[in-house]
Structure 1
Amino acid sequence: MAVHPMRDLLRPCRKATTATHTPWPHPRTAATARPNPAAKQPSLETGLHYARSYATLTGGPHVTVSTKHEGFPLGRWLLRQRRQADLYTKKFSATYPADPHLSAIDRGGTTMERSLGDQPLQGPLVDRGLQLVPSNGFPGTPESVGQWLYAQCVAYQELHPEQQRRLAQLGVTRHHIHSARPRRVSQRASFAAGLVHARAYTVQHGHLAISRGMSYNDYALGLWLANKRKRASDSRLPQDQVEALNAIDPWWNPPWRYPWQLTYHTTRATIRDLPLDPVRGFPDLPAGATRWLITQCTNYNDLHPGQQQLLADLGITAQDALRAKPQRESRQRPHPGAPQPRPSTVSSSIDGWPALRTFVRTSPRRTRNRTVRRRARRLPPGLVAL
Protein backbone atom coordinates (compact mmCIF):
# COMPACT_ATOMS: atom_id res chain seq x y z
CA MET A 1 0.00 0.00 0.00
CA ALA A 2 1.42 3.32 -1.03
CA VAL A 3 2.14 5.80 1.70
CA HIS A 4 1.06 9.43 1.15
CA PRO A 5 2.33 11.36 4.14
CA MET A 6 1.07 14.69 2.87
CA ARG A 7 -2.43 13.33 2.21
CA ASP A 8 -2.52 11.66 5.63
CA LEU A 9 -1.36 14.86 7.20
CA LEU A 10 -4.07 16.98 5.54
CA ARG A 11 -6.96 14.53 5.98
CA PRO A 12 -7.78 15.49 9.60
CA CYS A 13 -7.73 19.17 8.78
CA ARG A 14 -9.96 18.60 5.75
CA LYS A 15 -12.47 16.66 7.82
CA ALA A 16 -12.48 19.27 10.51
CA THR A 17 -12.94 22.03 8.01
CA THR A 18 -15.80 20.17 6.36
CA ALA A 19 -17.49 19.51 9.65
CA THR A 20 -17.35 23.11 10.84
CA HIS A 21 -18.08 24.73 7.45
CA THR A 22 -21.42 26.42 7.01
CA PRO A 23 -22.60 27.48 3.56
CA TRP A 24 -22.51 31.19 2.77
CA PRO A 25 -25.89 32.84 2.55
CA HIS A 26 -27.26 33.69 -0.90
CA PRO A 27 -25.78 37.03 -1.93
CA ARG A 28 -28.31 39.82 -1.67
CA THR A 29 -28.08 43.50 -2.38
CA ALA A 30 -28.04 45.58 0.73
CA ALA A 31 -31.04 47.79 1.33
CA THR A 32 -28.90 50.90 0.98
CA ALA A 33 -27.12 49.71 -2.18
CA ARG A 34 -27.86 51.41 -5.50
CA PRO A 35 -28.68 48.90 -8.28
CA ASN A 36 -26.91 49.16 -11.59
CA PRO A 37 -29.03 51.39 -13.88
CA ALA A 38 -27.26 50.13 -17.02
CA ALA A 39 -28.37 46.51 -16.62
CA LYS A 40 -29.69 45.14 -19.92
CA GLN A 41 -32.37 43.07 -18.18
CA PRO A 42 -33.09 44.82 -14.88
CA SER A 43 -34.80 42.76 -12.22
CA LEU A 44 -38.09 43.67 -10.59
CA GLU A 45 -36.23 44.82 -7.47
CA THR A 46 -34.09 47.19 -9.57
CA GLY A 47 -37.10 48.73 -11.29
CA LEU A 48 -39.00 49.09 -8.04
CA HIS A 49 -35.98 50.78 -6.46
CA TYR A 50 -35.93 53.53 -9.09
CA ALA A 51 -39.73 53.77 -9.24
CA ARG A 52 -39.87 54.38 -5.46
CA SER A 53 -37.07 56.92 -5.69
CA TYR A 54 -38.76 58.76 -8.54
CA ALA A 55 -42.16 58.69 -6.79
CA THR A 56 -40.61 60.11 -3.64
CA LEU A 57 -38.99 62.86 -5.64
CA THR A 58 -41.97 63.86 -7.83
CA GLY A 59 -44.97 62.61 -5.86
CA GLY A 60 -45.78 59.69 -8.16
CA PRO A 61 -44.36 57.71 -11.07
CA HIS A 62 -45.91 60.00 -13.68
CA VAL A 63 -43.54 59.35 -16.55
CA THR A 64 -43.36 59.16 -20.31
CA VAL A 65 -41.73 56.39 -22.28
CA SER A 66 -38.51 58.39 -22.59
CA THR A 67 -38.25 59.26 -18.86
CA LYS A 68 -34.98 58.32 -17.17
CA HIS A 69 -34.21 58.55 -13.47
CA GLU A 70 -30.58 58.47 -12.36
CA GLY A 71 -29.67 56.84 -15.64
CA PHE A 72 -32.33 54.11 -15.40
CA PRO A 73 -34.93 53.95 -18.23
CA LEU A 74 -37.90 54.12 -15.89
CA GLY A 75 -40.45 54.95 -18.58
CA ARG A 76 -39.61 51.95 -20.73
CA TRP A 77 -39.49 49.68 -17.69
CA LEU A 78 -42.96 50.75 -16.52
CA LEU A 79 -44.32 50.32 -20.06
CA ARG A 80 -42.90 46.81 -20.18
CA GLN A 81 -44.46 46.01 -16.81
CA ARG A 82 -47.81 47.22 -18.07
CA ARG A 83 -47.63 45.03 -21.16
CA GLN A 84 -46.57 42.02 -19.12
CA ALA A 85 -49.47 42.66 -16.75
CA ASP A 86 -51.92 42.70 -19.66
CA LEU A 87 -50.54 39.45 -21.08
CA TYR A 88 -50.52 37.77 -17.67
CA THR A 89 -54.10 38.79 -16.95
CA LYS A 90 -55.35 37.58 -20.34
CA LYS A 91 -53.53 34.25 -20.10
CA PHE A 92 -54.12 33.30 -16.47
CA SER A 93 -57.16 35.47 -15.56
CA ALA A 94 -55.32 36.51 -12.42
CA THR A 95 -53.64 39.60 -11.03
CA TYR A 96 -50.10 40.28 -12.14
CA PRO A 97 -47.72 39.33 -9.29
CA ALA A 98 -45.95 42.69 -9.40
CA ASP A 99 -49.20 44.64 -9.11
CA PRO A 100 -49.17 44.90 -5.29
CA HIS A 101 -45.64 46.34 -5.29
CA LEU A 102 -46.42 48.90 -7.95
CA SER A 103 -49.79 49.75 -6.42
CA ALA A 104 -47.99 50.59 -3.20
CA ILE A 105 -46.07 53.23 -5.13
CA ASP A 106 -48.95 54.51 -7.23
CA ARG A 107 -52.63 53.92 -6.63
CA GLY A 108 -53.16 53.31 -10.34
CA GLY A 109 -50.61 50.50 -10.59
CA THR A 110 -49.43 49.05 -13.89
CA THR A 111 -52.89 47.75 -14.82
CA MET A 112 -53.99 51.33 -15.46
CA GLU A 113 -54.31 51.69 -19.21
CA ARG A 114 -52.87 54.87 -20.72
CA SER A 115 -51.09 55.61 -17.45
CA LEU A 116 -48.08 56.93 -19.37
CA GLY A 117 -48.44 60.37 -20.81
CA ASP A 118 -51.32 62.00 -18.93
CA GLN A 119 -49.43 63.71 -16.12
CA PRO A 120 -46.78 65.46 -18.29
CA LEU A 121 -49.61 67.26 -20.11
CA GLN A 122 -50.75 69.04 -16.99
CA GLY A 123 -47.73 71.33 -16.64
CA PRO A 124 -47.70 72.72 -20.22
CA LEU A 125 -51.49 73.17 -20.29
CA VAL A 126 -51.53 75.01 -16.97
CA ASP A 127 -48.48 77.13 -17.85
CA ARG A 128 -50.07 78.26 -21.11
CA GLY A 129 -53.40 78.96 -19.41
CA LEU A 130 -55.16 76.83 -22.01
CA GLN A 131 -58.80 76.00 -21.38
CA LEU A 132 -59.81 72.67 -22.89
CA VAL A 133 -62.99 72.75 -24.96
CA PRO A 134 -63.96 69.12 -25.69
CA SER A 135 -66.98 70.12 -27.80
CA ASN A 136 -64.66 71.75 -30.39
CA GLY A 137 -62.06 68.97 -30.48
CA PHE A 138 -59.73 70.53 -27.87
CA PRO A 139 -58.55 73.49 -30.00
CA GLY A 140 -55.16 74.99 -29.22
CA THR A 141 -53.55 71.66 -28.38
CA PRO A 142 -51.30 69.66 -30.74
CA GLU A 143 -53.18 67.23 -32.94
CA SER A 144 -51.79 64.16 -31.14
CA VAL A 145 -52.75 65.61 -27.73
CA GLY A 146 -56.24 66.52 -28.87
CA GLN A 147 -56.77 63.05 -30.32
CA TRP A 148 -55.47 61.44 -27.12
CA LEU A 149 -57.82 63.52 -24.96
CA TYR A 150 -60.75 62.56 -27.17
CA ALA A 151 -59.82 58.87 -26.79
CA GLN A 152 -59.92 59.28 -23.01
CA CYS A 153 -63.39 60.77 -23.22
CA VAL A 154 -64.63 57.87 -25.35
CA ALA A 155 -63.28 55.28 -22.89
CA TYR A 156 -63.96 57.34 -19.77
CA GLN A 157 -66.20 54.73 -18.13
CA GLU A 158 -63.48 52.11 -18.44
CA LEU A 159 -60.76 54.23 -16.88
CA HIS A 160 -59.39 53.65 -13.42
CA PRO A 161 -60.66 56.16 -10.79
CA GLU A 162 -57.14 57.47 -10.45
CA GLN A 163 -57.04 58.16 -14.19
CA GLN A 164 -60.36 59.97 -13.99
CA ARG A 165 -58.98 62.08 -11.16
CA ARG A 166 -55.93 63.01 -13.22
CA LEU A 167 -58.09 63.94 -16.20
CA ALA A 168 -60.14 66.16 -13.91
CA GLN A 169 -56.93 67.99 -13.02
CA LEU A 170 -56.52 68.73 -16.73
CA GLY A 171 -60.10 70.00 -16.92
CA VAL A 172 -61.81 66.95 -18.43
CA THR A 173 -64.61 65.72 -16.19
CA ARG A 174 -67.56 63.36 -16.49
CA HIS A 175 -69.71 66.21 -17.80
CA HIS A 176 -67.49 66.70 -20.86
CA ILE A 177 -67.30 63.17 -22.20
CA HIS A 178 -70.60 63.24 -24.11
CA SER A 179 -69.90 66.57 -25.81
CA ALA A 180 -66.30 65.72 -26.85
CA ARG A 181 -65.57 65.76 -30.57
CA PRO A 182 -62.63 64.18 -32.41
CA ARG A 183 -59.72 66.38 -33.35
CA ARG A 184 -58.74 64.50 -36.48
CA VAL A 185 -60.02 65.82 -39.80
CA SER A 186 -62.19 63.43 -41.80
CA GLN A 187 -60.69 61.70 -44.83
CA ARG A 188 -63.07 63.50 -47.19
CA ALA A 189 -62.10 66.91 -45.83
CA SER A 190 -58.41 65.97 -45.97
CA PHE A 191 -58.74 64.89 -49.61
CA ALA A 192 -60.53 68.10 -50.52
CA ALA A 193 -57.71 70.16 -48.99
CA GLY A 194 -55.05 68.20 -50.85
CA LEU A 195 -56.99 68.44 -54.11
CA VAL A 196 -56.94 72.23 -53.93
CA HIS A 197 -53.13 72.24 -53.71
CA ALA A 198 -52.88 69.62 -56.48
CA ARG A 199 -54.95 71.79 -58.84
CA ALA A 200 -52.85 74.85 -58.03
CA TYR A 201 -49.61 72.96 -58.69
CA THR A 202 -50.92 71.60 -61.99
CA VAL A 203 -51.95 75.06 -63.17
CA GLN A 204 -48.41 76.27 -62.50
CA HIS A 205 -46.39 73.28 -63.74
CA GLY A 206 -48.77 71.26 -65.92
CA HIS A 207 -48.38 67.89 -64.18
CA LEU A 208 -48.43 66.09 -60.82
CA ALA A 209 -45.06 64.32 -61.07
CA ILE A 210 -43.77 65.31 -57.64
CA SER A 211 -41.21 63.57 -55.47
CA ARG A 212 -42.32 62.29 -52.09
CA GLY A 213 -40.51 64.90 -50.02
CA MET A 214 -41.62 67.95 -52.00
CA SER A 215 -43.84 70.63 -50.45
CA TYR A 216 -45.97 73.21 -52.24
CA ASN A 217 -47.18 76.34 -50.47
CA ASP A 218 -46.15 74.80 -47.11
CA TYR A 219 -48.28 71.73 -47.83
CA ALA A 220 -46.74 68.23 -48.06
CA LEU A 221 -48.15 67.65 -51.53
CA GLY A 222 -45.55 65.02 -52.46
CA LEU A 223 -46.35 62.87 -49.44
CA TRP A 224 -50.08 63.34 -49.99
CA LEU A 225 -49.82 62.15 -53.61
CA ALA A 226 -47.55 59.24 -52.63
CA ASN A 227 -50.18 58.05 -50.15
CA LYS A 228 -52.91 58.34 -52.79
CA ARG A 229 -50.84 56.38 -55.30
CA LYS A 230 -50.24 53.68 -52.71
CA ARG A 231 -53.95 53.41 -51.90
CA ALA A 232 -54.85 53.40 -55.60
CA SER A 233 -52.36 50.59 -56.28
CA ASP A 234 -53.98 48.55 -53.51
CA SER A 235 -57.49 49.35 -54.86
CA ARG A 236 -58.32 51.15 -51.61
CA LEU A 237 -58.78 54.65 -53.01
CA PRO A 238 -62.44 55.56 -53.64
CA GLN A 239 -63.38 55.79 -57.30
CA ASP A 240 -64.58 59.39 -57.04
CA GLN A 241 -61.15 60.44 -55.71
CA VAL A 242 -59.41 58.55 -58.53
CA GLU A 243 -61.57 60.33 -61.11
CA ALA A 244 -60.90 63.71 -59.50
CA LEU A 245 -57.14 63.18 -59.75
CA ASN A 246 -57.41 61.81 -63.29
CA ALA A 247 -59.22 64.99 -64.31
CA ILE A 248 -56.22 67.02 -63.13
CA ASP A 249 -53.45 64.81 -64.57
CA PRO A 250 -54.24 61.53 -66.36
CA TRP A 251 -50.75 60.22 -65.54
CA TRP A 252 -50.66 61.12 -61.83
CA ASN A 253 -50.44 57.36 -61.06
CA PRO A 254 -48.81 55.82 -64.17
CA PRO A 255 -48.74 52.04 -64.76
CA TRP A 256 -44.97 52.19 -65.30
CA ARG A 257 -42.28 53.00 -62.76
CA TYR A 258 -42.76 56.40 -61.18
CA PRO A 259 -39.07 57.48 -61.51
CA TRP A 260 -39.54 57.39 -65.29
CA GLN A 261 -42.34 59.93 -64.93
CA LEU A 262 -40.17 62.22 -62.80
CA THR A 263 -37.29 62.02 -65.29
CA TYR A 264 -39.63 62.66 -68.22
CA HIS A 265 -40.91 65.93 -66.81
CA THR A 266 -37.40 66.98 -65.76
CA THR A 267 -36.19 66.35 -69.32
CA ARG A 268 -39.21 68.12 -70.77
CA ALA A 269 -38.47 71.22 -68.73
CA THR A 270 -34.78 71.04 -69.72
CA ILE A 271 -35.26 70.79 -73.51
CA ARG A 272 -38.04 73.34 -73.75
CA ASP A 273 -37.62 75.53 -76.88
CA LEU A 274 -34.53 73.52 -77.97
CA PRO A 275 -34.40 71.79 -81.39
CA LEU A 276 -34.56 68.01 -81.51
CA ASP A 277 -32.41 66.21 -84.07
CA PRO A 278 -32.59 62.44 -83.37
CA VAL A 279 -30.63 61.54 -86.53
CA ARG A 280 -27.55 63.38 -85.25
CA GLY A 281 -28.07 62.21 -81.69
CA PHE A 282 -29.69 65.36 -80.23
CA PRO A 283 -26.49 67.46 -80.38
CA ASP A 284 -28.10 70.67 -79.10
CA LEU A 285 -29.36 69.19 -75.82
CA PRO A 286 -27.63 68.82 -72.43
CA ALA A 287 -25.77 65.59 -71.81
CA GLY A 288 -28.27 64.14 -69.33
CA ALA A 289 -31.25 64.81 -71.57
CA THR A 290 -29.38 63.37 -74.59
CA ARG A 291 -28.58 60.12 -72.80
CA TRP A 292 -32.13 59.69 -71.57
CA LEU A 293 -33.71 60.36 -74.98
CA ILE A 294 -31.29 58.01 -76.77
CA THR A 295 -32.17 55.31 -74.25
CA GLN A 296 -35.89 55.81 -74.87
CA CYS A 297 -35.41 55.68 -78.63
CA THR A 298 -33.32 52.51 -78.39
CA ASN A 299 -35.99 50.80 -76.29
CA TYR A 300 -38.97 52.45 -77.97
CA ASN A 301 -40.77 49.18 -78.77
CA ASP A 302 -40.60 48.11 -75.12
CA LEU A 303 -42.28 51.26 -73.83
CA HIS A 304 -45.86 51.47 -72.67
CA PRO A 305 -48.26 53.10 -75.17
CA GLY A 306 -48.71 55.91 -72.66
CA GLN A 307 -44.96 56.47 -72.54
CA GLN A 308 -44.82 56.53 -76.34
CA GLN A 309 -47.60 59.14 -76.35
CA LEU A 310 -45.66 61.29 -73.87
CA LEU A 311 -42.59 61.07 -76.11
CA ALA A 312 -44.78 62.11 -79.03
CA ASP A 313 -45.76 65.18 -77.02
CA LEU A 314 -42.05 66.05 -76.97
CA GLY A 315 -41.85 65.61 -80.75
CA ILE A 316 -40.33 62.12 -80.91
CA THR A 317 -42.38 59.70 -83.00
CA ALA A 318 -41.81 56.03 -83.82
CA GLN A 319 -39.99 57.00 -87.06
CA ASP A 320 -37.74 59.39 -85.13
CA ALA A 321 -36.91 56.67 -82.63
CA LEU A 322 -35.82 54.32 -85.43
CA ARG A 323 -33.57 56.98 -86.99
CA ALA A 324 -32.06 58.16 -83.70
CA LYS A 325 -28.38 57.34 -83.28
CA PRO A 326 -25.85 58.23 -80.62
CA GLN A 327 -23.27 60.87 -81.38
CA ARG A 328 -20.07 59.48 -82.88
CA GLU A 329 -16.66 60.38 -81.55
CA SER A 330 -14.14 61.96 -83.85
CA ARG A 331 -12.03 59.33 -85.68
CA GLN A 332 -9.19 61.77 -86.44
CA ARG A 333 -6.17 61.08 -84.27
CA PRO A 334 -4.60 64.30 -82.92
CA HIS A 335 -0.90 64.89 -83.31
CA PRO A 336 1.33 64.12 -80.29
CA GLY A 337 1.06 66.71 -77.58
CA ALA A 338 -2.32 68.04 -78.73
CA PRO A 339 -5.11 68.16 -76.15
CA GLN A 340 -7.42 65.20 -76.20
CA PRO A 341 -10.90 65.82 -77.67
CA ARG A 342 -13.72 66.09 -75.20
CA PRO A 343 -15.63 62.80 -74.98
CA SER A 344 -19.07 62.57 -76.50
CA THR A 345 -22.15 63.23 -74.42
CA VAL A 346 -23.18 59.64 -75.10
CA SER A 347 -21.02 56.67 -74.20
CA SER A 348 -19.31 55.34 -77.34
CA SER A 349 -19.68 51.79 -76.08
CA ILE A 350 -23.05 51.63 -77.88
CA ASP A 351 -23.25 49.67 -81.15
CA GLY A 352 -19.63 48.51 -81.05
CA TRP A 353 -17.70 51.80 -81.01
CA PRO A 354 -13.91 51.83 -80.44
CA ALA A 355 -14.17 52.32 -76.68
CA LEU A 356 -16.08 49.05 -76.41
CA ARG A 357 -13.47 47.18 -78.47
CA THR A 358 -10.68 48.65 -76.34
CA PHE A 359 -12.44 47.61 -73.16
CA VAL A 360 -13.04 44.07 -74.43
CA ARG A 361 -9.41 43.76 -75.57
CA THR A 362 -7.92 45.01 -72.30
CA SER A 363 -10.41 43.59 -69.79
CA PRO A 364 -8.66 40.13 -69.50
CA ARG A 365 -5.34 41.88 -68.88
CA ARG A 366 -6.93 44.15 -66.26
CA THR A 367 -8.56 41.18 -64.59
CA ARG A 368 -5.27 39.24 -64.49
CA ASN A 369 -3.33 42.18 -63.07
CA ARG A 370 -5.95 42.71 -60.41
CA THR A 371 -5.87 38.97 -59.52
CA VAL A 372 -2.06 38.97 -59.26
CA ARG A 373 -2.12 41.99 -56.96
CA ARG A 374 -4.76 40.39 -54.79
CA ARG A 375 -2.77 37.16 -54.48
CA ALA A 376 0.45 39.06 -53.73
CA ARG A 377 -1.18 40.76 -50.76
CA ARG A 378 -2.01 37.36 -49.27
CA LEU A 379 1.48 35.84 -49.71
CA PRO A 380 3.96 35.75 -46.81
CA PRO A 381 6.92 38.15 -46.97
CA GLY A 382 9.72 36.95 -49.21
CA LEU A 383 7.53 35.08 -51.73
CA VAL A 384 6.64 36.38 -55.17
CA ALA A 385 3.46 35.50 -57.05
CA LEU A 386 3.98 33.92 -60.45
Structure 2
Amino acid sequence: MGHRRFRLRQEPRGRARLLRGESGTLAAPRHTTALDKPVGQWLTNIRRPGGLGKDPVRAERRAAQLAAVDPLGTPSALGWTVDWHRHYVGLAALLDEGALLTGIVPGVTWCGDGIGRWLLRQQRDFGRLNPEQQKRLSELGVKPAVQARTASAASGANWAGRGAEAFTRGLAALAQYVEREQRTVVPRQHNEQVTVDGQDHDVRLGVWVSNQKMRRDRLSEEQLGQLAGLGIDWA
Protein backbone atom coordinates (compact mmCIF):
# COMPACT_ATOMS: atom_id res chain seq x y z
CA MET A 1 0.00 0.00 0.00
CA GLY A 2 2.89 2.30 0.82
CA HIS A 3 4.33 1.63 -2.62
CA ARG A 4 1.02 2.67 -4.20
CA ARG A 5 0.99 5.96 -2.26
CA PHE A 6 4.54 6.63 -3.44
CA ARG A 7 3.53 6.02 -7.05
CA LEU A 8 0.60 8.39 -6.74
CA ARG A 9 2.88 11.06 -5.37
CA GLN A 10 5.25 10.54 -8.28
CA GLU A 11 2.60 10.72 -11.00
CA PRO A 12 2.11 14.54 -10.90
CA ARG A 13 5.84 15.04 -11.41
CA GLY A 14 5.69 12.64 -14.33
CA ARG A 15 2.91 14.68 -15.89
CA ALA A 16 4.90 17.84 -15.13
CA ARG A 17 7.88 16.42 -17.04
CA LEU A 18 5.61 15.63 -19.96
CA LEU A 19 4.20 19.16 -19.91
CA ARG A 20 7.70 20.63 -19.73
CA GLY A 21 8.77 18.53 -22.70
CA GLU A 22 5.77 19.54 -24.81
CA SER A 23 5.54 23.26 -24.04
CA GLY A 24 9.01 24.14 -22.76
CA THR A 25 7.72 25.46 -19.43
CA LEU A 26 5.75 24.59 -16.34
CA ALA A 27 4.22 28.07 -16.38
CA ALA A 28 0.91 26.51 -17.32
CA PRO A 29 -2.64 27.87 -16.96
CA ARG A 30 -4.77 26.27 -14.28
CA HIS A 31 -6.88 24.38 -16.83
CA THR A 32 -3.87 22.62 -18.44
CA THR A 33 -3.95 18.83 -18.56
CA ALA A 34 -1.34 16.17 -19.31
CA LEU A 35 -2.26 12.52 -19.78
CA ASP A 36 -5.84 13.68 -19.17
CA LYS A 37 -4.93 14.75 -15.63
CA PRO A 38 -5.27 18.32 -14.23
CA VAL A 39 -1.56 19.08 -14.00
CA GLY A 40 -2.25 22.84 -14.26
CA GLN A 41 -4.35 22.79 -11.08
CA TRP A 42 -1.68 20.72 -9.33
CA LEU A 43 0.99 23.25 -10.26
CA THR A 44 -1.25 26.10 -9.10
CA ASN A 45 -1.75 24.37 -5.75
CA ILE A 46 1.93 23.74 -5.06
CA ARG A 47 2.86 27.35 -5.93
CA ARG A 48 0.62 28.67 -3.17
CA PRO A 49 2.16 29.49 0.21
CA GLY A 50 2.64 26.19 1.98
CA GLY A 51 1.72 24.28 -1.17
CA LEU A 52 4.83 22.12 -0.91
CA GLY A 53 3.98 21.04 2.63
CA LYS A 54 4.39 22.36 6.16
CA ASP A 55 7.56 20.41 6.85
CA PRO A 56 10.36 22.78 5.72
CA VAL A 57 12.78 19.95 4.94
CA ARG A 58 10.22 18.13 2.83
CA ALA A 59 9.11 21.37 1.16
CA GLU A 60 12.71 22.17 0.23
CA ARG A 61 13.18 18.68 -1.21
CA ARG A 62 9.99 19.01 -3.26
CA ALA A 63 11.05 22.43 -4.50
CA ALA A 64 14.34 20.91 -5.65
CA GLN A 65 12.45 18.16 -7.47
CA LEU A 66 10.28 20.75 -9.22
CA ALA A 67 13.36 22.80 -10.14
CA ALA A 68 14.92 19.66 -11.63
CA VAL A 69 11.99 19.49 -14.06
CA ASP A 70 12.00 23.23 -14.80
CA PRO A 71 14.43 25.64 -13.06
CA LEU A 72 11.98 28.47 -13.82
CA GLY A 73 8.92 26.54 -12.77
CA THR A 74 8.11 29.07 -10.04
CA PRO A 75 8.51 32.45 -11.79
CA SER A 76 6.92 34.37 -8.89
CA ALA A 77 10.21 33.90 -7.06
CA LEU A 78 11.85 35.84 -9.89
CA GLY A 79 9.43 38.75 -9.69
CA TRP A 80 6.92 38.05 -12.44
CA THR A 81 3.76 36.07 -13.00
CA VAL A 82 3.25 32.60 -14.42
CA ASP A 83 1.28 34.18 -17.26
CA TRP A 84 4.16 36.55 -18.14
CA HIS A 85 6.67 33.73 -18.10
CA ARG A 86 4.54 31.50 -20.31
CA HIS A 87 4.25 34.23 -22.95
CA TYR A 88 7.99 34.91 -22.71
CA VAL A 89 8.72 31.24 -23.32
CA GLY A 90 6.32 31.32 -26.28
CA LEU A 91 8.11 34.32 -27.78
CA ALA A 92 11.48 32.60 -27.39
CA ALA A 93 10.10 29.42 -28.96
CA LEU A 94 8.75 31.29 -32.00
CA LEU A 95 12.12 32.98 -32.51
CA ASP A 96 13.93 29.64 -32.15
CA GLU A 97 11.66 28.25 -34.85
CA GLY A 98 12.84 30.97 -37.23
CA ALA A 99 10.20 33.67 -36.82
CA LEU A 100 11.30 37.28 -37.17
CA LEU A 101 10.58 39.59 -34.26
CA THR A 102 8.93 42.09 -36.61
CA GLY A 103 6.66 39.34 -37.89
CA ILE A 104 5.30 38.47 -34.44
CA VAL A 105 2.29 40.75 -34.65
CA PRO A 106 -1.15 40.67 -33.02
CA GLY A 107 -2.84 37.50 -34.17
CA VAL A 108 0.33 35.38 -33.88
CA THR A 109 -0.13 32.71 -31.23
CA TRP A 110 1.82 29.92 -29.56
CA CYS A 111 0.12 27.07 -27.73
CA GLY A 112 -3.07 29.15 -27.72
CA ASP A 113 -1.50 32.28 -26.22
CA GLY A 114 -1.58 35.59 -28.12
CA ILE A 115 2.16 36.22 -28.27
CA GLY A 116 1.95 39.04 -30.83
CA ARG A 117 -0.42 41.11 -28.74
CA TRP A 118 1.59 40.38 -25.59
CA LEU A 119 4.80 41.49 -27.33
CA LEU A 120 3.26 44.85 -28.20
CA ARG A 121 2.36 45.40 -24.55
CA GLN A 122 5.92 44.57 -23.44
CA GLN A 123 7.36 47.06 -25.93
CA ARG A 124 4.89 49.72 -24.84
CA ASP A 125 5.36 49.12 -21.09
CA PHE A 126 9.07 48.22 -21.23
CA GLY A 127 9.98 50.84 -18.64
CA ARG A 128 7.58 49.31 -16.11
CA LEU A 129 9.21 45.88 -16.26
CA ASN A 130 11.77 44.89 -13.66
CA PRO A 131 15.46 44.82 -14.68
CA GLU A 132 15.55 41.04 -15.12
CA GLN A 133 12.48 41.06 -17.37
CA GLN A 134 14.03 43.85 -19.44
CA LYS A 135 17.29 41.89 -19.66
CA ARG A 136 15.56 38.71 -20.83
CA LEU A 137 13.51 40.54 -23.46
CA SER A 138 16.54 42.52 -24.64
CA GLU A 139 18.41 39.26 -25.18
CA LEU A 140 15.62 38.29 -27.58
CA GLY A 141 16.00 41.60 -29.41
CA VAL A 142 12.94 43.30 -27.91
CA LYS A 143 13.26 47.07 -27.54
CA PRO A 144 10.98 49.68 -25.98
CA ALA A 145 8.37 51.17 -28.27
CA VAL A 146 9.37 54.50 -29.81
CA GLN A 147 6.87 57.33 -29.59
CA ALA A 148 5.54 59.15 -32.64
CA ARG A 149 8.34 60.62 -34.73
CA THR A 150 7.44 64.33 -34.61
CA ALA A 151 5.39 66.72 -32.56
CA SER A 152 3.22 67.31 -35.60
CA ALA A 153 2.05 63.75 -35.22
CA ALA A 154 0.07 64.96 -32.20
CA SER A 155 -2.49 66.32 -34.62
CA GLY A 156 -3.21 62.75 -35.56
CA ALA A 157 -3.43 61.51 -31.98
CA ASN A 158 -7.19 61.19 -32.06
CA TRP A 159 -6.95 59.15 -35.24
CA ALA A 160 -4.30 56.96 -33.61
CA GLY A 161 -6.58 56.24 -30.68
CA ARG A 162 -9.54 55.34 -32.85
CA GLY A 163 -7.45 53.53 -35.44
CA ALA A 164 -5.25 51.45 -33.13
CA GLU A 165 -7.45 48.38 -33.33
CA ALA A 166 -7.94 48.83 -37.07
CA PHE A 167 -4.17 49.00 -37.52
CA THR A 168 -3.75 45.83 -35.47
CA ARG A 169 -6.28 44.00 -37.63
CA GLY A 170 -4.76 45.31 -40.84
CA LEU A 171 -1.25 44.33 -39.77
CA ALA A 172 -2.39 40.81 -38.86
CA ALA A 173 -4.18 40.51 -42.21
CA LEU A 174 -1.10 41.73 -44.08
CA ALA A 175 1.18 39.28 -42.23
CA GLN A 176 -1.17 36.44 -43.13
CA TYR A 177 -1.33 37.56 -46.78
CA VAL A 178 2.45 37.93 -47.13
CA GLU A 179 3.09 34.52 -45.56
CA ARG A 180 0.59 32.82 -47.86
CA GLU A 181 1.29 34.67 -51.12
CA GLN A 182 5.01 35.30 -50.53
CA ARG A 183 4.66 38.85 -51.87
CA THR A 184 3.84 42.28 -50.51
CA VAL A 185 1.88 43.74 -53.43
CA VAL A 186 -1.79 43.63 -52.48
CA PRO A 187 -4.44 44.31 -55.16
CA ARG A 188 -6.53 47.29 -54.08
CA GLN A 189 -9.77 45.30 -54.28
CA HIS A 190 -8.45 42.40 -52.19
CA ASN A 191 -10.21 41.52 -48.91
CA GLU A 192 -8.52 39.29 -46.34
CA GLN A 193 -10.28 37.18 -43.73
CA VAL A 194 -8.25 37.15 -40.51
CA THR A 195 -8.80 36.03 -36.92
CA VAL A 196 -7.49 38.33 -34.18
CA ASP A 197 -7.92 37.46 -30.50
CA GLY A 198 -10.49 34.83 -31.39
CA GLN A 199 -12.64 37.14 -33.53
CA ASP A 200 -13.01 36.91 -37.31
CA HIS A 201 -12.58 40.07 -39.38
CA ASP A 202 -12.99 40.89 -43.05
CA VAL A 203 -10.22 43.40 -43.76
CA ARG A 204 -10.22 45.46 -46.97
CA LEU A 205 -6.51 44.82 -47.14
CA GLY A 206 -5.71 46.51 -50.45
CA VAL A 207 -7.40 49.72 -49.33
CA TRP A 208 -5.82 49.47 -45.87
CA VAL A 209 -2.28 49.21 -47.27
CA SER A 210 -2.91 52.16 -49.57
CA ASN A 211 -4.24 54.22 -46.65
CA GLN A 212 -1.19 53.46 -44.49
CA LYS A 213 1.09 54.61 -47.29
CA MET A 214 -0.77 57.91 -47.64
CA ARG A 215 -0.66 58.61 -43.90
CA ARG A 216 2.78 57.14 -43.23
CA ASP A 217 3.98 60.45 -41.76
CA ARG A 218 1.41 59.91 -38.99
CA LEU A 219 2.53 56.38 -38.14
CA SER A 220 4.81 55.72 -35.19
CA GLU A 221 8.29 54.27 -35.55
CA GLU A 222 6.93 51.04 -34.11
CA GLN A 223 4.17 50.83 -36.71
CA LEU A 224 6.55 51.65 -39.54
CA GLY A 225 8.97 49.03 -38.24
CA GLN A 226 6.23 46.41 -38.21
CA LEU A 227 5.30 47.22 -41.80
CA ALA A 228 8.95 47.24 -42.86
CA GLY A 229 9.41 43.87 -41.17
CA LEU A 230 6.75 42.46 -43.49
CA GLY A 231 8.60 43.79 -46.53
CA ILE A 232 6.73 47.05 -47.18
CA ASP A 233 9.49 49.09 -48.84
CA TRP A 234 7.99 52.56 -48.36
CA ALA A 235 7.96 52.00 -44.59
| TM-score, normalisation: structure 2 | 0.48
Question: Greater share of strand residues, 1 or 2?
Answer: 2
Compare relative contact order (CA 8 Å, sep 6+) and give the higher one, 1 or 2: 2
Whose radius of gyration is greater, 1 or 2?
1
Give the alignment's TM-score, normalised by structure 1. 0.31
